[in-house]
Amino acid sequence: MNCIRSLCNADVGVDFVVGKDVSLPETKVSSSQNPNGKIGGNRPSKRTILAFFAGNLHGYVRPILLNHWSSRPEPDMKIFNRVDHKSYIRYMKRSRYCVCAKGYEVNSPRVVESILYGCVPVIISDNFVPPFLEILNWESFAVFVPEKEIPNLRKILVSIPVRRYVEMQKRVSKVQKHFMWHDGEPVRYDLFHTILHSVWYNRVFQTF
């Protein structure tokens, strides 16, 4: 087929075709008047939590994550099954890294939530193709951890120099505009326009 598919579940292990199909961000909109919520968070020096995750135990990756880290005596690793919504946002705003572990599908709303709350995403999803690869260098503002390296998660994050983390966090802030909806008319470079750009780019420069 020559059609371009736009998918939130951009899984190269199933049938997503890189260079042809378009990976879409997965977002949650709780209010049409304030679609992005209260974005932002603590500045890097005030983010005292190394890594945070909370969510349902969907799929096979999250149980491995929880079984390994939820009971470990590491006070800077906040890995939970579930927390209430206010606590969830508070943890994201106070954490350096937010773990985005795949559930039933490779993508998760946590990727966009992490970015909007100024938390560097840690993506644990081997077959996931991040959105907007044609314009965003994801490795400059996100950490990709292979699923098999979950037991080494803290070691990997601690090994990242502080200067490197601060730079990544700054870049998270810079790319926020590409993941934001707006009430009323779309704003230049926002999520609406960036999705359209991805579709246009893959149509014009299709490599498949």
Residue-wise pLDDT tens digits, 92-111: 999 999 999 999 999 999 99
Using CB atoms within 10 Å of the CB of residue 98, give its burial: 0 to 12 exposed, 13 to 18 middle, 19+ buried. Answer: buried
Please say if the pLDDT value at position 69 is more than 80: yes
Over residues 8-63, the pLDDT tens digits come to 999 999 889 998 899 999 998 877 767 777 889 999 999 999 999 999 999 999 99
Strands 120-124 and 95-101, bridge-based pairing: parallel
Q: How far apart are CA 153 and CA 140, in angstroms?
A: 18
Q: How much is the pLDDT for 29?
A: 80
Over residues 120-158, the pLDDT tens digits come to 999 999 999 999 999 999 999 999 999 999 999 999 999
Q: How much is the pLDDT for 1?
A: 60
Query: How many CB atoms lie under 10 A from the CB of residue 163?
Result: 8
Residue 71: pLDDT band by 50, 70, 90 thresholds? Answer: confident
Query: How many CB atoms lie under 10 A from the CB of residue 28?
Result: 11
Q: How much is the pLDDT for 113?
A: 96
Q: How far apart are the first and last CA of the chain?
A: 11
Give the whole-number percent of the chain exceeding pLDDT 70.
98
Q: How far apart are CA 6 and CA 3, in angstroms?
A: 10
Q: How much is the pLDDT for 207?
A: 63
Q: Would you state the structure tokens that stand for residue 151, as one six-digit string?
A: 């037991």
Closest to 107 in 3D by CA, of 191, 36, 12, 180: 12
